[in-house]
Structure 1
């Protein structure tokens, strides 16, 4: 009865997978999607091809990525991609595509990647990543995605074009002839009348056919066509089993997939291994997964048994879920443990696990689930798990659930005051609480520092709720933009930052190390004191590197090229590439987003609109992996991009709302940039009066602190306007204009036409520059309005001209060096 039957018609459909980059197989539950693809892939495996399978069990993108990396665990590719988290943002996805390309490009065997149950994944970033992988220039990668629902949008379908192969319900459905063959293969003898009845009743639906044949083989005859499929399954697969098997099915139906060890722990049956193997051998709805050495129930059987599980006494259900929670807790699978404890009503255990997790995996759970858990907790349950409360306070701040955060704080303080904790433990809890509460005073350095100092006096160990490798800057490319909040107070803000940060480092084990130094370096830079800026920049870089503080290092990398544009340092064209290589081993995809922001601002200043990261070029900030405190800074970066693109009206139209958001925090330096950008946009549109008003406002903000460089960086737009208003601020504007002249000289040197030195045409040079940015042929074609095959031919010609050979990454590295050496 476990015979696998794939019709000749279906085999022909499956054979076309090899000729396609992306195959979709879409049909309702029970049509044999997984069985058909698994049969085909086993044939490919026997031929020596490489097969990788990813099962999706939820909409959790982090769990998907874990399964994705696990599919490649025995390969060199798996070792590389498992080093970082799911790639969020175009740059991170591009790095993944490049890693896959390097792995595949010189291999002759075929690679098949099967993504099953995609209908459970609603996060569009997964599909975007898969489509990106189809764009890499290899012919030996074949992605197969199975789903109950439609997968591709019309634009995605058009993008894939002839590279896509579609298998649908009609391909999977058994016609009368195929039904007859399948019955004979299963050893079931049926009359023509019975075959006709079965064909009409099942409409070729594989699961209904299988259940009917199972019923006939048991001597029960055809099932009643009026029964629903769960009734059919109960009648044929569950009835008649002894109590041990039924209990096994009822309890293990809560698992997406399970090992024999987990089944033994959950069911507490000593002979569970034999029972699981027997079920797998006699029941096509219980499948062994050799890649992971686990077992899985078909969704239909799982749904059938979950219905039975729901009829068990509530105490028995809760006990089973609690055992699941304990199992996952023992495996440090804290997300699953929290979910099972919550479902069991064991809220205290859920709070305990939240404390053990420290907030790392908690970020993968939907905020609504945690908020619901909190709403159902009694005060006594909350007071019993104080470490969990601290983690929750930090997470509630990130979710901007401030009233709930304050309520948790009150419970924490009450518990500490009433408990018999040792003094050291009590002080550490209170110190952690002060540290977390300091975030409510962001970005008031003085107020934050008072709480940091209090935390230092109390705590004898680093914070449990603020990881050292977290983002001190929230993803901002500038510390000065974060903490400069009042005109005329920049010096006192720097002094307070220098005074406060050592306390913060003490209680966070060095998170953000170098922040006060880079803030001071930025202040020197903005005042035109370039030597002092360079000295402090190098101090900040050394401090941050010593503690591996990547976000502070990114702030350093945002300042370095801007110093170079002022003629103070050599401009290094490869700085972006170097950082990309450095971050490849990082588990933090937000780093790539911040790096893109740095690149976009610098290229906008240089007028290199053809080199902008695509997502910033197209203004897709809403889709970016950004935390709220960093958004205003990315908005001014995008404004600078719009100015470079000459979209002046758009700058004006969006800036009123940006000003309000900056004033609310307050972010005075961001506000200053917006007024300058508005002045530039108005002046470009011949709105002289409006431009003068915006410039006057900007100068009133900047002059009390001696800030010059935001005007310098926009000197190309503001020169005439600055000259016309020089009388009120003669000294400052003279300094701005002189520095702007130097910047224009540097920019002319960098933007000179050097294509002749390399022997490339302008068109070839444009393509070469985009290749250096890791753009695919499709992206280059879209950017330069060329056909994709034209880009492919030109790229081949470029490499031939420059005598470049090797792997794709080796070619790109050689090309990068050649472009960076242009004189």
Structure 2
């Protein structure tokens, strides 16, 4: 049966009109119900207004997001650039930022974004963003999701609010009239009785209808073949000669491919001709002219993959060639996965062993444990840099089996290279240095012990750069406070800052950590109340860090500078630093930096009564991307949010769990903040006198290092407790200084605390129009103002109501009695 002509199903076009009328339309059906074809038919002739994005098994969210950012950039260059810089929204921080960016999108005409094969995106977190965008109903933006599975969608709220429409399998089924129309189109003669039988047996499934018609053409009566697989086998597979059948099976190891890639992976040289023949004869071989990619229809692809009967030798060869192709494309993680499946352990190790700056996270691929945990020690020692990359990434990502055994593994590797023959002295020194680079992190958060390794690493490398300690590594492990990492013992804060002046880590890691010397001085000055020194040293840290793109240092320095400037009453400067900090994080496609920025913003909800982000209100700390569980800093920030919301009982109840988080790495600043928060909660739950023991405990903890700023940042809650201190404690010099800093801090930030956040009359009018469902242009016409002015008012409304978009603004307005 030749490739069929196309039946236009007008009935479906009326259903698919929902794409233009709803912000989110979901078309759900198993493979083979014609959902992709139906939507393409409906949107045909609207090329400039349609963005078609198709997920694939091997290349998922990253590739889709790049295409999406590019397409949005054609319509709004600034939005496209921001989306590209942000990277795929695979975690909550980036999803919230993506939502915020898209809320600024201004489309002059309707644009439909189609997400095809969306079932392959389940688990990426993208669904949460899609539902929020549907709720927000961004003007002229329409989303269409084509999927086999909607289990990732919680649609109850969206359906109730008429923000979403679902088109189901039942609606996509071919009717008797459509089957007749299809047969007429293909000039296939069929009786009404046969049509009725087809409807019964195929239940409206177009793929089964197609193969049943093909079977009828070959003399197979309707219903004689009991399964779809047998029909596909007889009508789409066995009709080809053995050469092409085998070729189809080989192609099925890929989701999509070019003809050149097909040649490379299958080991043939005639793919252009074979694919041309297959595409002409088979509706299940598809070609995307825009992307210049071939795809096998999911129904046929599932069939082929279930019947891959390669010899083990051929299967390994196929995946080996696919892995090599992906290596050439620099798509390393899937390349390593394919090579692992091919049993090419040594090829993976040799590629990863190169001195090029391959990111350590690429050691986390499908089959990595088989390569590194089941591989022989002799082989791993032949490729020590690859092995050390794996060990280092496993350690920082908390893989328990590796962390527990790491010292022994490093000892064994070091022993091998110290006695290894036939290796030059320079190469031996390089490997011993790389072992020490990983070993120094077995002393994690003990700065003196870690620094002790640096001199020997420098000597061994002799001017060369490490292949494992890379410039792109997150130097502060996702914490926005460098000294918080290492401050464990009473009276050691100053010595840690002094020790940081001799940090030679940047010298062998291409600058990773540069600026940490000035940052340590800034943080020491900030915590101890020398705010002007903190401001100047934090600036130096930023200048140094910028030379080597040390984003984590820049975030820490700006956070420190903002804290110091707030204490000095330089409120605008502090706000600008927070904005710059957020921009530093957003420019990177790295969830660690975005999580750092979120922690910084959440930190200020107590001292400045700044808006509390929704994720923090909800206590969704797991949404953050953090190394080593955040070392309790996330709990510290959550505790501040509870205090700001008046959740004093909950704060007191959770305080022991906070201390448990701080105790893992003995983070002394964490314990100090915890004691301060307990004192503040106790004062509200009972009275100032009842909170005195906790405040004295906090003062005793802070005194050896002269730390005062954490008290000042809770000044509004602590000053009554300070005044209730017994005479002896009140006369203590350090306690008096802490109280004075609290009083001066409160005075410095008073203008922020008294800031008027009420809506103007015009903003109320705009809000009411928004509540009626009016678009920006309609609001502008109604109020006789420009659309740009409407946008300005909306920004002010969102800021004052602590909202990230229309839906949350309207919810906050109702809660505050504004609507």
TM-score under structure 2 length normalisation: 0.88
User: Which residue number in structure 1 is paired with residue 254 of structure 2?
Assistant: 255
User: Which residue number in structure 1 is paired with residue 720 of structure 2?
Assistant: 720
Using the alignment, how far apart are the partners of 1:795 and 1:528 within structure 2?
A: 53
Report the 3-state secondary structure (helix = DSSP H, G, I; strand = E; otherwise coil) of the residue aligned with 2:473.
coil
Using the alignment, how far apart are the partners of 1:804 and 1:173 within structure 2?
A: 44
Q: Return the match for 1:41 from 23, 40, 43.
A: 43
After superposition, give the CA deviation of every residue in 1:192-214 in whole Å (9 maximum; x if it has no partner).
Answer: 33222222211111111010112
User: Which residue number in structure 2 is paired with residue 652 of structure 1?
Assistant: 652
**Distance change in 2, residues 1:658/1:581 (3 Å):** closer
Structure 1 stretch displaced more, 362-371 or 665-674: 362-371
Q: Is the Cα–Cα contact under 8 Å of residues 719 and 743 in structure 2 kept in the other structure? A: no
What is the Cα deviation at residue 685 of structure 1? 0.7
Mapping 1:151-166, distance limit 5 Å = 151=151, 153-154=153-154, 157-158=157-158, 161-166=161-166
Structure 1 stretch displaced more, 622-631 or 702-711: 622-631
What is the Cα deviation at residue 116 of structure 1? 1.5
Check if 1:477 corresponds to 2:480.
yes
What is the Cα deviation at residue 691 of structure 1? 2.6
After superposition, give the CA deviation of every residue in 1:178-228 in whole Å (9 maximum; x if it has no partner).
Answer: 2222222222112233222222211111111010112233x3333655532
Q: Is the Cα–Cα contact under 8 Å of residues 764 and 795 in structure 1 kept in the other structure? A: no
Using the alignment, how far apart are the partners of 2:130 and 2:355 within structure 1?
A: 30
Work out the number of aligned pairs and report it.
789
Using the alignment, how far apart are the partners of 2:408 and 2:216 within structure 1?
A: 63
User: Which residue number in structure 1 is paired with residue 817 of structure 2?
Assistant: none
Structure 1 stretch displaced more, 442-451 or 545-554: 545-554
Q: Is the Cα–Cα contact under 8 Å of residues 92 and 623 in structure 2 kept in the other structure? A: no
User: Which residue number in structure 1 is paired with residue 524 of structure 2?
Assistant: 523
Report the 3-state secondary structure (helix = DSSP H, G, I; strand = E; otherwise coil) of the residue aligned with 1:694.
helix
Q: Is the Cα–Cα contact under 8 Å of residues 336 and 365 in structure 2 kept in the other structure? A: no
Q: Return the match for 1:315 from 313, 320, 326.
A: 313
Using the alignment, how far apart are the partners of 1:796 and 1:143 within structure 2?
A: 23
Q: Is the Cα–Cα contact under 8 Å of residues 604 and 612 in structure 1 kept in the other structure? A: no
User: Which residue number in structure 2 is paired with residue 295 of structure 1?
Assistant: 294
After superposition, give the CA deviation of every residue in 1:479-516 in whole Å (9 maximum; x if it has no partner).
Answer: 121111100122222222222x1x11111111122223
After superposition, give the CA deviation of every residue in 1:623-654 in whole Å (9 maximum; x if it has no partner).
Answer: 22222253511211111111111111111111
Using the alignment, how far apart are the partners of 1:359 and 1:579 within structure 2?
A: 27
Using the alignment, how far apart are the partners of 2:625 and 2:231 within structure 1?
A: 47
Using the alignment, how far apart are the partners of 1:116 and 1:245 within structure 2?
A: 28
User: Which residue number in structure 2 is paired with residue 446 of structure 1?
Assistant: 448
Check if 1:96 corresponds to 2:98.
yes
Q: Return the match for 1:805 from 784, 788, 791.
A: 788
User: Which residue number in structure 2 is paired with residue 144 of structure 1?
Assistant: 144
User: Which residue number in structure 1 is paired with residue 814 of structure 2?
Assistant: none
**Distance change in 2, residues 1:543/1:449 (3 Å):** same
What is the Cα deviation at residue 574 of structure 1? 4.2
Using the alignment, how far apart are the partners of 1:249 and 1:542 within structure 2?
A: 57
What is the Cα deviation at residue 347 of structure 1? 1.5
Q: Is the Cα–Cα contact under 8 Å of residues 137 and 163 in structure 2 kept in the other structure? A: no
Q: Is the Cα–Cα contact under 8 Å of residues 381 and 413 in structure 2 kept in the other structure? A: yes
User: Which residue number in structure 2 is paired with residue 556 of structure 1?
Assistant: 557
What is the Cα deviation at residue 29 of structure 1? 2.1
Using the alignment, how far apart are the partners of 1:692 and 1:403 within structure 2?
A: 42
Measured on the aligned residues, the alpha-carbon RMSD in Å equals 3.4
Report the 3-state secondary structure (helix = DSSP H, G, I; strand = E; otherwise coil) of the residue aligned with 1:211.
helix
**Distance change in 2, residues 1:799/1:216 (3 Å):** closer
Structure 1 stretch displaced more, 246-255 or 118-127: 118-127
User: Which residue number in structure 1 is paired with residue 466 of structure 2?
Assistant: 463
Q: Is the Cα–Cα contact under 8 Å of residues 112 and 144 in structure 1 kept in the other structure? A: yes
Q: Is the Cα–Cα contact under 8 Å of residues 804 and 811 in structure 1 kept in the other structure? A: no
Q: Is the Cα–Cα contact under 8 Å of residues 208 and 229 in structure 1 kept in the other structure? A: yes
Using the alignment, how far apart are the partners of 1:803 and 1:19 within structure 2?
A: 25
Using the alignment, how far apart are the partners of 1:71 and 1:281 within structure 2?
A: 31
Using the alignment, how far apart are the partners of 2:781 and 2:528 within structure 1?
A: 44
What is the Cα deviation at residue 755 of structure 1? 6.6
User: Which residue number in structure 2 is paired with residue 490 of structure 1?
Assistant: 493
Check if 1:614 corresponds to 2:617.
no
**Distance change in 2, residues 1:561/1:160 (3 Å):** farther
Check if 1:540 corresponds to 2:523.
no
What is the Cα deviation at residue 63 of structure 1? 5.3
Q: Is the Cα–Cα contact under 8 Å of residues 483 and 496 in structure 2 kept in the other structure? A: no
| Structure 2: runs of 5 or more not aligned | 803-819
For CA contacts below 8 A with separation 6 or more, give which structure has more relative contact order: 1
Q: Is the Cα–Cα contact under 8 Å of residues 9 and 38 in structure 2 kept in the other structure? A: no
Q: Is the Cα–Cα contact under 8 Å of residues 59 and 121 in structure 1 kept in the other structure? A: no
**Distance change in 2, residues 1:606/1:300 (3 Å):** same
What is the Cα deviation at residue 126 of structure 1? 0.7
Using the alignment, how far apart are the partners of 1:810 and 1:269 within structure 2?
A: 63
What is the Cα deviation at residue 105 of structure 1? 1.6
Structure 1 stretch displaced more, 370-379 or 469-478: 370-379
Using the alignment, how far apart are the partners of 2:122 and 2:345 within structure 1?
A: 28
Using the alignment, how far apart are the partners of 1:196 and 1:796 within structure 2?
A: 54
What is the Cα deviation at residue 405 of structure 1? 3.9
Using the alignment, how far apart are the partners of 1:601 and 1:525 within structure 2?
A: 15
User: Which residue number in structure 2 is paired with residue 244 of structure 1?
Assistant: 243
What is the Cα deviation at residue 286 of structure 1? 0.8
Mapping 1:278-357, distance limit 5 Å = 278-309=277-308, 311-355=309-353
User: Which residue number in structure 2 is paired with residue 514 of structure 1?
Assistant: 515
Using the alignment, how far apart are the partners of 1:746 and 1:340 within structure 2?
A: 60
Report the 3-state secondary structure (helix = DSSP H, G, I; strand = E; otherwise coil) of the residue aligned with 2:735.
helix
Report the 3-state secondary structure (helix = DSSP H, G, I; strand = E; otherwise coil) of the residue aligned with 1:296.
strand
Q: Is the Cα–Cα contact under 8 Å of residues 723 and 733 in structure 1 kept in the other structure? A: no
**Distance change in 2, residues 1:419/1:408 (3 Å):** farther
User: Which residue number in structure 2 is paired with residue 265 of structure 1?
Assistant: 264
Using the alignment, how far apart are the partners of 1:482 and 1:305 within structure 2?
A: 53
User: Which residue number in structure 1 is paired with residue 180 of structure 2?
Assistant: 180
Q: Is the Cα–Cα contact under 8 Å of residues 602 and 612 in structure 2 kept in the other structure? A: yes
User: Which residue number in structure 2 is paired with residue 30 of structure 1?
Assistant: 32
Report the 3-state secondary structure (helix = DSSP H, G, I; strand = E; otherwise coil) of the residue aligned with 2:607.
helix
Q: Return the match for 2:589 from 587, 601, 623.
A: 587
What is the Cα deviation at residue 735 of structure 1? 1.3
Using the alignment, how far apart are the partners of 1:697 and 1:59 within structure 2?
A: 54
User: Which residue number in structure 2 is paired with residue 773 of structure 1?
Assistant: none
Q: Return the match for 2:380 from 372, 379, 382.
A: 382
What is the Cα deviation at residue 57 of structure 1? 2.0
Q: Is the Cα–Cα contact under 8 Å of residues 84 and 589 in structure 1 kept in the other structure? A: no
What is the Cα deviation at residue 156 of structure 1? 5.9
**Distance change in 2, residues 1:534/1:90 (3 Å):** same
**Distance change in 2, residues 1:56/1:511 (3 Å):** same
User: Which residue number in structure 2 is paired with residue 771 of structure 1?
Assistant: none
Structure 1 stretch displaced more, 473-482 or 529-538: 529-538
Q: Is the Cα–Cα contact under 8 Å of residues 56 and 115 in structure 1 kept in the other structure? A: no
Using the alignment, how far apart are the partners of 1:808 and 1:479 within structure 2?
A: 39
User: Which residue number in structure 2 is paired with residue 772 of structure 1?
Assistant: none
After superposition, give the CA deviation of every residue in 1:555-614 in whole Å (9 maximum; x if it has no partner).
Answer: 122122322332253443444344444554332243232222212222321123xx2222
What is the Cα deviation at residue 255 of structure 1? 0.3
Using the alignment, how far apart are the partners of 1:506 and 1:795 within structure 2?
A: 59
Report the 3-state secondary structure (helix = DSSP H, G, I; strand = E; otherwise coil) of the residue aligned with 2:788.
coil
What is the Cα deviation at residue 23 of structure 1? 0.8
Mapping 1:745-764, distance limit 5 Å = 745-754=747-756, 760=760, 764=763
What is the Cα deviation at residue 18 of structure 1? 1.3
Using the alignment, how far apart are the partners of 1:799 and 1:644 within structure 2?
A: 39
**Distance change in 2, residues 1:90/1:246 (3 Å):** closer
**Distance change in 2, residues 1:361/1:185 (3 Å):** farther
**Distance change in 2, residues 1:806/1:564 (3 Å):** same
What is the Cα deviation at residue 414 of structure 1? 5.1
**Distance change in 2, residues 1:575/1:536 (3 Å):** closer
Structure 1 stretch displaced more, 729-738 or 470-479: 729-738
